[in-house]
Amino acid sequence: MPTVGADPVIGDRAYGTEAATIARLGRAVCDGLLAGGVLPVIKHIPGHGRAKVDSHHGLPRVETDRAELAASDFAPFRALADMPWAMTAHIVFSGIDPTAPATLSPKVISEIIRGEIGFGGVLVSDDVSMGALQGGLGERTSGAFAAGCDLVLHCNGDCDEMTAVVEAAAPMTAATMERVTRGETLRRRSVQPFDRAAAEARFDALLADMPEPRSR
User: Is 154 among the residues known to form the active site?
Assistant: no
| Distances 148 to 19, 114, 176 between C-alpha atoms, Å | 26, 9, 10
Rounded mean pLDDT of the chain?
Answer: 95
What residue type is assigned to position 2 of the chain? Answer: P
Going by pLDDT thresholds of 50, 70 and 90, the confidence category of residue 216 is low
* pLDDT, average across residues 136-151: 98
Could you tell me which of 28, 22, 25 has the C-alpha nearest to residue 73? Answer: 22
Domain boundaries, the chain: 11-191
Of 126, 102, 100, the residue nearest 114 (C-alpha): 102
Contact between residue 179 and residue 120 where contact means Cβ atoms under 8 Å apart: yes
pLDDT, one tens digit per residue, over 152-161 is 999 999 999 9
* Beta strands across the sheet bearing 122-127: 41-45, 85-88, 122-127, 151-153
What's the pLDDT at 3? 87
Q: Of the listed 7, 126, 127, 150, which one is catalytic?
A: 126
What is d(CA 27, CA 83) in angstroms, rounded to the nearest whole number? 9
Whether 90 is catalytic is no
| The pLDDT of residue 12 | 83
* Segment 25-48, tens digit of pLDDT: 999 999 999 999 999 999 999 999
- Whole-number pLDDT of residue 214: 66
Within a 10 A sphere around the Cβ of 169, how many other Cβ atoms? Answer: 16
Number of neighbours of residue 104 by Cβ within 10 angstroms: 29
CATH class of 11-191: alpha beta
Are 145 and 106 contacting, i.e. CB atoms less than 8 angstroms apart? Answer: no
Tens digits of per-residue pLDDT, 169-190? 989 999 999 999 999 999 999 9
> Which residues share a beta bridge with 136?
none
CA atoms within 13 A on the CB side of 32: 7
Q: Is the pLDDT of residue 200 over 80?
A: yes
pLDDT for 54-101, tens place per residue? 999 999 999 999 999 999 999 999 999 999 999 999 999 999 999 999
Q: Are 83 and 39 in contact (CB under 8 A)?
A: no
Report whether pLDDT(164) > 90: yes
